[in-house]
Amino acid sequence: MRAQYIARSPRIAARLLGGEMIVISAEDSALFSLNDIATAIWLAADGRTPLREIVEQRVCAEYAVDPETALRDAEELVRELSAHGILLSSDQPFPDAA
C-alpha cells in the first residue's frame, strides 16, 4: 500500500474554540467543525508523517477503534477536506513541511 501524506493548506483559517476545531476554506468559504478524532488528524497533518502513522499514533492510541476502520474513516475525511482545499494530500512527503 502506498503511503499518503497530508498537510494543512495555507489558504485556510482555523481556530480551536471550546475544544472544537473550526476551519474555514478561503477557496469556497466552506465552514467545517471537526470532531475530536478529525481534530487530532488535522493537528498532526504536518506533511511529513504518513496518514497511517497518524491514525495509529493519534487515533488508535486514544480511541477504541481498530486500525483498518480508523484508516478508512481518516481517508474519507482527507478526501472531503482535500476537495475543499483545506487539506493537501500527496504520496510523497511535502518538501517544505515544517
Fold held by 5-90:
Outer Surface Protein A; domain 3 (3.90.930)
Residue of 38, 77, 72, 76 whose CA lies nearest to 58: 38
Confidence (pLDDT) at 44: 95
Instruction: Give the side-chain half-sphere CA count within 13 A for 37.
Output: 19
Helix (H, G, I), strand (E, B) or coil at 12: strand
Domain positions in the chain: 5-90
pTM over 0.85: yes
| Average pLDDT of the residues in 80-93 | 92
Q: Look at residue 20 in the predicted model and tell me its pLDDT.
A: 84
- Average pLDDT score over the chain: 91
pLDDT digits (tens, 9 = 90+) for 59-73: 999 988 999 999 999
Cβ-based neighbours of 10, under 8 Å, separated by 6 or more = none
